[in-house]
Amino acid sequence: MRRREIDRYLKEGDVANQSPISHDSVTIPANGSGIAAILIPSQYDFMWFTLQGRSTGAYLLTIKDAGTNREFSNKPLHNNTIIGNGNLPYILPQPYLVKRRGSIIFNISDLSGVSNVVQITLGGISYYDESIIKKKEPALKGLMPYFYTTDDLLTVGTAETLARFSVAKDHDFLINKVSYKDTNSSTTLFYKLSSTSGRAMNNDIYIDMASTIGNSQYPYIFQYPTPFFGGNIGKLAFKDTTSSNVTYITFGGIAIMRG
């Protein structure tokens, strides 16, 4: 690294630093729900880049920016599709700025059937100098990380099971990663993805999910992001080779706000 680059980081070290932010662990009762809030201190603005955590069981979650009251997904998401860990954090499809004194709220619903201890951490950069944020804000305006899962709970059987996700009309959605979790991993799941525009994403043939879709630690990253326009509907078809399987699939991408 050249000397001037080192000097730049030393200088910015006075006004910015790498800073994960978490909350005190929360205990969610068996099949119950609870809330976790991550508060941004008054000393800095926070540029959020990654999502990671731990838990003693599976759960569903929704994420909301308390300042804007905007949620980051169409439906609750399975933690194994979006919550990474310290070794392999889930990298957001798009960085997100949370202003000082702001907060990110997690609504959590237990799936494990027993008491569930959950902790979630945001990875990112703390900016103490507000002038830096003022320079970065224009490039982020109208963009936010967003996640789509199926409109309804998806139970897949040996016969073809159809599902969809409906893109909201206030934004266009650019998919750049996908992850999933199923409840019966000993079977083989197949899927097809297309849109109401008639565009088939995988030649309208069934693809083995395990070979093409990752999890929260290793989401499958699209080499070419795929756009869905506001008001469009993503159509999915699934099959299980041998039995019934509850399947959670999460498309991560960028919401490009309209207007």
Mean pLDDT by 10 residues, the chain (259 residues): 61 69 96 97 95 97 95 98 96 96 97 97 93 89 96 88 92 94 71 63 68 89 89 85 87 93
Q: Are residues 122 and 27 in the same domain?
A: yes
Q: Are residues 104 and 124 in the same domain?
A: yes
Q: Which is it for the CA torsion 82, 79, 73, 107, positive or negative?
A: negative
Q: Are residues 242 and 165 in the same domain?
A: yes
CB-based burial, 100-132: b 16+ in 10 Å, e otherwise? bebebbbebebbeeeebebebbbbbbbbbeeeb
Distance CA(48)–CA(69), nearest Å, equals: 17
Let me know: does 250 contact 173? Beta carbons within 8 Å.
Answer: no
Q: Are residues 112 and 81 in the same domain?
A: yes
75: which residues sit within 8 A by CB, 6+ positions away?
62, 148, 149, 150, 151
Q: Are residues 105 and 12 in the same domain?
A: yes
Range(s) of the domain holding residue 241: 148-257
Q: Are residues 98 and 47 in the same domain?
A: yes
Distance CA(255)–CA(176), nearest Å, equals: 11
Q: Are residues 158 and 107 in the same domain?
A: no
| Of the residues 112, 139, 166, the one at which a domain ends | 139
Confidence at residue 158, expressed as pLDDT on a 0 to 100 scale: 83
Confidence at residue 197, expressed as pLDDT on a 0 to 100 scale: 59
Q: Which is it for the CA torsion 37, 153, 226, 217, positive or negative?
A: positive
Mapping DSSP to helix (H, G, I), strand (E, B) and coil, where does residue 44 land? coil
| Of the residues 80, 111, 139, the one at which a domain ends | 139
Confidence at residue 130, expressed as pLDDT on a 0 to 100 scale: 87
Q: Are residues 114 and 15 in the same domain?
A: yes
Give the CA count within 13 Å in the CB-facing half-sphere of 250.
33
Q: Are residues 110 and 231 in the same domain?
A: no
The structure tokens listed for 121 are 């951490």
Q: What is the pTM of this model?
A: 0.90
Q: Are residues 58 and 171 in the same domain?
A: no
Total domains in the fold of the chain:
2
Confidence at residue 162, expressed as pLDDT on a 0 to 100 scale: 86
| Of the residues 85, 106, 139, the one at which a domain ends | 139
Check residue 7 and give left, alpha or beta (phi > 0: left; psi -120 to 50: alpha).
Answer: alpha
CB atoms within 10 A of CB 21: 19
